[in-house]
Amino acid sequence: MKILSIVTRPESAPRVPTPEEIERGSALISELAAAGSLIDAGGTWPGLLEMRVTRRAGDYSIVDGPFTEAKEVVGGYFLIDVPDREAAIALARRFLDTSGDGTFHFHEIIEAPRD
Amino acid sequence: MSENVAGRAIDAVWRIESPRLIAGLTRLTRDVGVAEDLAQDALVAALEQWPASGVPANPGAWLMAIAKRRAIDRFRREELGERKRDEFGRVELARQETAPGFDASLEDDVGDDLLRLVFIACHPVLSRQARVALTLRLIGGLTTAEIARAYLASEATIAQRIVRAKRTLSEARVPFEMPQGADRAGRLASVLEVLYLIFNEGYCATAGDDWLRPSLCEDALRMSRIVATLMPSDAEVHGLVALLEIQASRTHARIGPNGEPILLLDQDRSRWNRLLIGRGLDALGRSERLGGTLGPYALQAAIAACHARARIAEDTDWMRIAALYDALLEVMPSPIVALNRAVAVGFAYGPAAGLEAVEELRFEKSLEGHYLLASVRGDLLARLGRGAEAAFEFRRAAAATANARERTLLLDRARASGDVDIAARRSTRS
């Protein structure tokens, strides 16, 4: 199943990882990419565009970030392809083990039925 | 996968973080080329991990942690000569591996490191072209492709230029330190010149995709502001910033709807950017408050400020401008400055006085065949009512300029002056 995942961190969490954590993280990414479980991933950066475009009762509102009121910050997204729910949980655990507290929000992507 | 992740955000992140990173790594490795490689590796590694970890409040420290790790790996892996090994700073690397406060000490030094890097990139051992390319790359954080586009050169040419420059620095064993004593003034002049050249390349868009080049002005301005922050007690650095800010404030007023140049006195001053003017006047104030005689950049900024302060062209304080040109001529004797002085004199004390100042330059070798001399003479003659002579000078100027739009402008003026002359003759006849 293909899954879209947004990763959030408590605002205070992002910190400079130790060299060991960095090495473990790199190894994990290489492994998952090679195995085909990791389709794509991207980080977000505070200096880049942050914006909310909302339509409510036909009216649009556009709010520019950064959203400092947020309790959590978005770190980035992952697009993964795993066999089942358990594999997704395992993957999240492995990532969080290398990089500290945070939340993986998983959303399975609807795929057209194959015949 | 890594290519995919790296490809998207890399330019933006690189521009923000790379100068300080490369500066710190150059201190560790004593080699700008090695430092840049390590910084790039670190960036790719960091970009891969950011989706999972989020960006820390201090991404520079993260990048530095990765880069140091890579430096150590590389150091161990490669069979380096004993000399190189020493240069690599075995002691330094060993110290940082054990000392927990290393990151903090690195942060303190970061400004100094960046300034040293600026001075290395603008080192006189390099050609002017190489200094410009290396500065844009290392301090401006531009990609090779961006530099190539800005200078209408092929990417291969620029890449080659940067590689050669780094090799030259390495071979010349340029030390990673601030120049001191007698060396300092000359080295600083080179830094300021490089920044000024970059700005001008953007400002005098003579060819190519005009819209791409204002970014060079922004890059030069951005880097100059950084250097000014790092060298707050140097008057000329503030002078350069002031000059660039004020010149940049006119960007939108100096090109007409069809891309034709609009001369300073004809510009719609409501289109001047007041924010940039304000910043420029502030920088000029800082430069003046530091005392001493004003240097060439501060003087040019002071002249630009006279124009910026005048709400309409008629309000221009030409006497002050003429006096500033006198001072500029003392510190930077050049026929072009003298010619500009003549223009100011012509406005301050009348066209006859201006013409007198121009006559002194008639036999100046370097101005021979220069369109500006003929064009200034033409203008003064026209104002004195000597239309035929003026038309002759404008035509001469038109023949000398390489710029098509400028030529049209000059030929128009020649025609206008000639017409005046004919009209004047007619009126005397009747």
For residue A61, the tally of other CB atoms under 10 A from its CB is: 9
What the block records as the tokens of B49 is 């991990």
Cβ contact (<8 Å) for A45 and B58? no
Stretch B404-427: mean pLDDT: 74
Does the domain formed by A2-108 have CATH 3.20.20.80? no
Nearest CA in chain A to B4: A40
Position A81 pLDDT exceeds 80: yes
Stretch A63-79: mean pLDDT: 82
Query: Scanning the structure block, which residue is given the tokens 């004993």?
Result: B82
User: Nearest CA of chain B to the CA of A38: how many Å?
Assistant: 8
Break chain B into its structural domains and give their ranges: 317-365, 369-430
Q: Residues near B70 by Cβ (< 8 Å), separated by ≥ 6?
A: B38, B41, B42, B45
Q: Residues near B396 by Cβ (< 8 Å), separated by ≥ 6?
A: B371, B374, B378
Q: How confident is the model at residue A41 (pLDDT cuts 50, 70, 90)?
A: confident
For residue B90, the tally of other CB atoms under 10 A from its CB is: 11
Look up residue B152 and give its DSSP letter. Answer: T
How far, in Å, CA of A71 to CA of A51, rounded? 17
Residues of A in contact with B9 (CB under 8 A): 42-43, 45, 48
Q: How confident is the model at residue B152 (pLDDT cuts 50, 70, 90)?
A: confident
pLDDT of residue B420: 58
- Residue A107's H or E segment, with its range, is strand A103-108
Q: How confident is the model at residue B225 (pLDDT cuts 50, 70, 90)?
A: very high
Nearest CA in chain B to A7: B52
Position B82 pLDDT exceeds 70: no
Please name the member of A33, A48, A100 whose beta carbon is closest to the beta carbon of B53: A100
State ipTM.
0.75
How far, in Å, CA of B1 to CA of A100, rounded? 23
Cβ contact (<8 Å) for B103 and A16? yes
Weakest-pLDDT range from A69-78, B41-50, B108-117, B417-426: B417-426
Tabulate helix, strand, coil % of chain B (nearest 5). 75, 0, 20
pLDDT of residue B430: 44
- Establish if A101 touches chain B: CB-CB under 8 angstroms: no
pLDDT of residue B363: 83
- Establish if A37 touches chain B: CB-CB under 8 angstroms: no
User: Nearest CA of chain A to the CA of B65: how many Å?
Assistant: 6
Amino acid identity of residue B305, one-letter, is A
Q: How confident is the model at residue A13 (pLDDT cuts 50, 70, 90)?
A: low
Break chain A into its structural domains and give their ranges: 2-108
Whole-prediction pTM: 0.74
Q: Share the mean pLDDT of chain B.
A: 84
Q: What percent of chain B has pLDDT over 70?
A: 85
- Select from B13, B21, B53 the residue whose CB has the most chain A CBs within 10 Å, as the one to mutate to test that interface: B53
Please name the member of B47, B51, B55 whose beta carbon is closest to the beta carbon of A14: B55
Residues of B in contact with A20 (CB under 8 A): none
Weakest-pLDDT range from A99-103, B61-65, B95-99, B373-377: B95-99
Please name the member of A19, A45, A98 whose beta carbon is closest to the beta carbon of B69: A19
Position B235 pLDDT exceeds 50: yes
What the block records as the tokens of B53 is 């970890």
How far, in Å, CA of B19 to CA of B36, rounded? 9
Stretch B133-159: mean pLDDT: 89
For residue B349, the tally of other CB atoms under 10 A from its CB is: 15
Query: Scanning the structure block, which residue is given the tokens 């330059």?
Result: B361
Tabulate helix, strand, coil % of chain A (nearest 5). 30, 35, 35
> In the beta sheet, which residues pair with residue B190?
none
How far, in Å, CA of B418 to CA of B414, rounded? 6
Cβ contact (<8 Å) for A17 and B65? yes
What the block records as the tokens of B272 is 């001047």
Condensed to tens digits (0 to 9), the pLDDT of residues B24-52 reads 999 888 889 999 999 988 888 888 888 88
